[in-house]
A and B are shown apart, each in its own frame.
Chain A
Amino acid sequence: MRLFQARSRISRHALPWVVACALSFASSLPASPLLDSDRPEYPPDTTELDSQARDCLRCHAMETLAYRDPETGEILDLAVDPRLLSHSVHGEMACTECHRRSYRRYPHPEQAGRETFSCVGCHEDDPEDATYQFLSIEEEYARSVHVAPGASEAEDFSCHSCHDPHVFRVSRVGKEIGQVVRDDNRVCMSCHRELTDPLDTTHAWLPKRDAHWASVRCLECHTPPSDRAERVSHQILPAEDSARDCVGCHSSDARLLNRLYHYRSQEDLARKGLIAKALFNEAYVVGMSRNPTLDALSLLVIGLTLLGLTAHGVGRYLTYRRRTNRQ
C-alpha cells in the first residue's frame, strides 16, 4: 500500500500543465505520431460535475492558479481543467471525497495543506476491482522501472504521475482504437519528451517507427506479456528488457494478438454491426495467422507435390510416346 500512497505534493496537479507545454513544444517540431491533441470543445460542459466541484472550480479553473511552496520554494500549479475533469473517471465525485473536508472552507486552513492519497484505499472495495485487480496492479507497479530499487526518480513517482486523477479516463469498448493509442501514449510522452526529437535514435531499430507509434501503445512493448485481455501489466520495463522481437507481435500466438484482436472485434461489432463486421473485419492484423513452421512445412509439401505431379505427368507423356513410336 505504501507505494500507492502519493503525498499531496500539489505538483501532481501540474501534469495537465506539463502536457500543455509538451504539446506547444511539439507544435514547433515535425508532427510526431506520439503526440496528438484531443481536448474537449469549449465552452466546457460542467453539468455532470458535482455541485461542490463547481464551487471549487470557481477558483481552481483559473489556468494560472498556483502558489509557491514556502518549504521548497517550488511553484505549484493548482489549476484543474474543468473540461478534462468533467470527462474524467472521477468527474462526478465531490472534491472532498479525496481531498480533506477542511478544504470546503475558504481561505483553506493551513493544516489542510499536506494530504496523502491511496488509490487502492478507495479502489480495493470497488465493484470494478474484479476487472482491474488493483492489488495485482500494486504488485506489478512495485517492479516497474519507474519505482524499482535504483530508479532515480522513484521518490517523486506515484500512480498520479501517469494517471492524473483530474483527467484520467478509462478506455471503453467503442472508443476508436487510434484514439486509445494516442491517449495512452500521450501519458508517456508528457515526461519522455526526448522521443519527439527528430534526432532521437532510441527507436531507430524499429522498422516503420512512425507507423508503429501511431497505432501501437508504448505499453505493448514496454510491459511484460500478460494473459489478461482487459489490461496490460503495470510493470513498465526498462528499454533493455522491452520487446524487440518482430514475431513476438506479428504472429498468431503473439502476446499482443489476443488482446488486440478481441478489442478490435468488439469495437467493430459495436460500431458497425454484424454484416459490416463479416465483410470488412478490421480486426485482422497482418501476420496474425502466420506460423513460420507451419508455413514452411506446408509450402514444402505443396512444392514436393507439384514436383511429384510434374514428374508423373512427364513419365506418362514419355511412356505414351514410346508406345506410339512402337506401333
Chain B
Amino acid sequence: MRSLYLYAGWVRLWHWLNALLFLILILSGASMHYAGTPWLLDFETAVTLHNTTGILLTLSWIGFVAGNLLTDNGRHYRIRFRGLLDRLFEQSRYYAFGIFQDAPHPFHVSAEMKLNTLQQLSYLGVMYLLMPLLLLSGWSFLFSVYLPETLFGVGTVWIVAMTHLTTSYLLVLFLLVHLYIITTGETVLTNLRAMVTGWHRERGEPQ
C-alpha cells in the first residue's frame, strides 16, 4: 500500500465549500433562469440565495488563488510543456480504450504532481478562465449601472447575461464530467476518499 498526503487541510476545506456553493448556485441559478418550473425554488428566495452564495464563491475563489500563491499547492498547476501533447494523447487514449482493458494508468500521482495533464488543463481552464468570467459577469449583473450602456452596439446587460449563462452551463458540464472522472481511480472511491482524508492510497510499494 502506497500512501501520499496530497490534499492539505485548506485545499480540502476549500474544495468541499466550493462544491456546496456550486450546488446551491446551480439550483438557485436554475430557479431564476427557469422561474416557474414546479420543482425549483421560489423566485425571490432564489435571487437572494444566488447572490449571497455568489459573493461567498467569489471569496472562496480569492482564497483558492491566494492559497496557490502562498503555499506549494500552486506547483500542481504549472504546465510542463515538454511532451504535453503526448501526455494528453496518452491520457485520452486511456479513458477511451485502456480503461476497459484494465490497462495500467498512464499517470502516477506523486507529491510533485497530483494532477494528470488532462486534469491539470481542465482545472486551469475552470479555475483561471471560466471562474473569473463567471464571477465578473455575476458582479456585472449586480452593478451594470457602472458599465457602459452598450458594448460594440449591443446592450451590455445582454452580453453580461449571455456570458454568465454560457460559463455556468460549461461549469455544470465540468461538474458532471468531474463527478464521473473521480470514479476512475484505482477503485471507484479512491479519489473521493483522498479528497476527504487528504491521503491518496493505492496498491504498490510504499515510497
Contacts and interface: CB of A to CB of B under 8 A. Distances in A.
Interface centre among B48, B101, B143, B158 (most CB of A within 10 A): B158
Contacts of B48: 279-280
B61 to A, nearest CB: 16
Contact of B162 (A258, A291, A309, A313): A291
Nearest to B166: A294
Interface residues of B, number: 40
B102 A323 contact: yes
Contacts of A25: none
B157 A262 contact: yes
A323 B100 CA distance: 10
- Would you call the interface of chain B mostly helix, strand, loop, or mixed? helix
Interface string A117-151: 00000000000000000000000000000000000
A279 B101 contact: no
Contacts of A279: 48, 51-52, 55
Interface stretch (A44-52, A72-80, A300-308): A300-308
B35 A302 contact: no
Interface residues of A, number: 40
A312 B142 contact: no
A321 to B, nearest CB: 12
A287 B32 CA distance: 8
Contacts of A316: 99-100, 184
B74 to A, nearest CB: 30
Interface in B166-202: 166, 169, 172-173, 176-177, 180, 183-184
A320 B188 CA distance: 12
A278 B142 contact: yes
Contacts of B161: 252, 288-289, 291
Nearest to A265: B145
Interface of B: 32-33, 35-36, 43, 47-48, 51-52, 55, 95, 99-102, 141-145, 149-150, 154-158, 161-162, 164-166, 169, 172-173, 176-177, 180, 183-184
8 contacts: A258-B155, A283-B144, A286-B36, A298-B169, A301-B169, A302-B173, A313-B183, A323-B102
Interface of A: 229, 252-253, 257-258, 261-262, 265-266, 269, 274, 277-284, 286-291, 294-295, 298, 301-302, 305-306, 309, 312-313, 315-316, 319-320, 323
